[in-house]
Structure 1
Amino acid sequence: MPRALITGITGQDGLYLSELLLAKGYEVWGLIRGQNNPKLDLVRSTVPDVRLVTGDLTDLSSLMRALSASRPDEVYNLGAISYVAYSWENAMVTSEVTGKGVLNMLEAVRLHTLDDPGRVRFYQASSSEMFGKVQEVPQRESTLLWPRSPYGVAKVFGHYMTINYRESYGMHASSGILFNHESPRRGPEFVTRKVSQAVARIKLGLQDEIVMGNLDAKRDWGFAGDYVEAMWLMLQQPTADDYVVASGETHSIRDLLDAAFAHVGIEDWSGLVRQDPQFMRPAEVELLIGDPSKARQVLGWKPSIDFATLVGMMVENDLREQSDLVGR
């Protein structure tokens, strides 16, 4: 039975990846930060077969203990402070967790496998936010990185550190440069879930409007459940490498609003959406669209759920959740 350790087990990717690996017969371990983690019950109820171990990406010794307890064949480093807007307010914490945390995890794996550097295969969750002020359209593995947020800068550090450990120590360490991937499990602070939840509440008469920032920013959105399969496929390759994982299509925030409101039968949403400068980024990433050719050719990966289906799935989930809350 193969064994895997997942950091960031409480996030949407961690949950979907756990389900995927368990279905493939893995023994799955999840790293939990703190004994009173507010999402602990979510993990236990969603993936009860996952074994949990405490640890912190900012504490190397705790990561060493987690590796000794779980004895993994594969490590998926998904843990990060992943809300971009938060990173401007807390650049130092974001850098420590999202950036230096990658170094700590790589070093822990290196020390754990001194006798055989390739014995544990390592996946790093890199991000399309690394492209920032994009220098090429679409963005591919070789595109110059120009991050536009402390989060993006921290992700660039982790990305290059993963490459460095692969080249310096012979580790089987791969990075997935994942473009925006969403699901009903996405946190409500992220724009896709903010929109799907608000549209559901407007449809049910529970709120009157959505307050938004930049409606013209464009993103390449896909389904998180599809993207975790690409993570797994990377670690099944004989040679570690870096891959862009994306849909290859771009949509604006206006497109997102169109799709979400159309799903509940509202065609004209102009009077239901208000823009507020407080939701504008200090430095905006205007256009992200990935070229997933390498992932398609080498990994045999392609997304199964398109943009409209994804948005509809999220709105339907929030209609059920909000209806249940009203009925209580």
Structure 2
Amino acid sequence: MTGQDGSYLAELLLDRGYTVHGLVRRASTFNTHRIDHLYSDPHHSDTRFFLHHADLSDASRLLELLQTTAPDEVYHLAAQSHVRVSFEEPTFTGDITGMGTARLLEAIRLTGAECRFYQASSSEMFGSSTPPQHEDTPFQPRSPYGAAKLYAHWMTRSYREAYGMFAVNGILFNHESPRRGETFVTRKIARAAARIKAGLQDRVYLGNLDAVRDWGYAPEYVEAIWLMLQQDSPQDYVIATGTASSVRDFARLAFDRVGLDWTRHVHYDQRYERPAEVDALIGDPSKAGRVLGWKARVLAPELAAIMVDAEARALAGQAPERQEWPGEPLPQRREWKG
């Protein structure tokens, strides 16, 4: 709930009249800055937004919360989600990202919860497969993170087929926003561009500039997540823009936004290279467009501008803009009784 996607999804669900229960890990420091505004936002009622301490390693706690909250829809977004870190902590990544999903699915089965389940799969499962990648492209993960996500993906399909659960996988390609963690490359670039323009730093160090990704806008991607659980039958979907940009392209776009030459400030550092690189991830979102009626509206140039502008506002001490859901309104939530 405290991550990028969880915060945007919470906003969307509250705007649509849901009561939202979110899980947060207990820690010695607060990590709720992405959702703190939901308690004071006049658009939302604090009687419809609740946070519970829980951890995907604790199966008994998951069982308890499913029994007490009796959800209609479960959105599973939690993971150790940093690919580079997964090489350094492969067993932790496997336990939380992979086995954590199995624990949650089993908790739903054991409680008999009449809910729809969304599992956040990842384009990293495709790894070295030839792009563009779609729902039937062979999986070839090249990181502990990709492998753990693949386990979670297949467990979700297994529970759907074995127990008749309404369980879906959203294979989301890279999606970014001003709420992205600062160690992720797009946020790192956007933050550096704004700080260098402001004279607060002079350079930024990056790894593989040739890596090609399909970058979309996180608020739009959570729209697709919600739509998956509103369908008549559970299916898996690739969510992507269908366009390709390299890390080099994104750096150029970000520094252009502040009127700087990126080549003067971006420097290579081998430490940011992955042990096994994924050269190109480009999604084919045709099925999402055909079945869900979903299409990405924000592409890499607009995304870079959004992220750099947000960093500039933050440096100027200005409050972040409230997310408004662009484009055509989403359909109203329909009731599902199973």
Q: Which of 107, 119, 127 is 2:122 aligned to? A: 127
Per-residue CA distance 1:252-274 (angstroms, 9 max, x = gap):
011101100110112x3212111
1:24 lines up with 2:9 in the alignment? no
Which whole-Å CA distance do the structure 1 matches of 2:232 and 2:39 have between them? 29
* Counterpart residue number, 1:310: 303
Tell me, in whole angstroms, the C-alpha distance in 2 between the residues paired with 1:46 and 1:198.
Answer: 28
Q: Structure 2: how far apart are the matches of 1:178 and 1:232?
A: 13
- Give the Cα separation in 2 of the matches to 1:40 and 1:66: 20
For the residue of structure 1 that corresponds to 2:234, the secondary structure is coil
Residue 38, structure 1, aligned to residue 30, structure 2: yes
Give the share of equivalent positions with the same residue, in percent.
Answer: 52
Which residue matches 2:158? 164
Give me the TM-score of the superposition, normalised by structure 1. Answer: 0.92
Indicate how the Cα distance of structure 1 residues 295 and 273 shifts in structure 2: closer, same or farther if over 3 A, else same: same
Q: Does 1:222 align with 2:221?
A: no
Residue 109 of structure 1 aligns with an amino acid whose one-letter code is: I
Q: CA deviation at 1:47?
A: 5.3
- Output the CA distance in 2 between the equivalents of 1:51 and 1:321: 28
Residues 45-96 of structure 1 show CA distances to partners (whole Å, capped at 9, x for unaligned) of 3456321112111111010111122210000000001011110110010000
Mapped contact 1:74–1:122 kept (Cα < 8 A):
yes
Alignment of 1:137-176 (within 5 A): 137-176=131-170
Q: Which residue of 245, 248, 263 corresponds with 1:251?
A: 245
Structure 1 residue identity aligned to 2:65: A
Q: Which amino acid aligns with 1:121?
A: R
For residues 33 and 200 of structure 2, the distance between their equivalents in structure 1, rounded to whole angstroms, comes to 27
How many residue pairs match? The answer is: 311
State the shift of 1:36 in Å.
Answer: 4.2
The secondary structure found in structure 2 opposite 1:270 is: helix
Check the 8 A contact 2:120/2:169 in 1, yes or no.
yes
Q: Which runs of 5+ in 2 are unaligned?
A: 41-45, 319-338
The equivalent position to 1:15 in structure 2, one of 7, 28, 36, is 7
What's the TM-score, normalizing by structure 2? 0.89
Q: Is the 8 A contact 2:176 2:216 kept in 1?
A: yes
Alignment of 1:1-328 (within 5 A): 9-34=1-26, 36=28, 38-46=30-38, 49=46, 50-113=49-112, 119-134=114-129, 136-266=130-260, 268-324=261-317
In structure 2, the CA distance between the partners of 1:212 and 1:177, relative to structure 1 (3 Å rule), is: same
CA distance in 2, matches of 1:214, 1:246: 22
Q: For each residue in 1:219-258, what CA deviation from the matched residue of structure 2 results, as whole angstroms up to 9, or x when unmatched?
A: 0000000000111110011111100000000100111011
Indicate if the aligned counterparts of 2:213 and 2:246 stay in contact, CA closer than 8 A: yes
Deviation at 1:33, TM superposition (A): 1.3
Q: SS of 2:262's equivalent?
A: coil
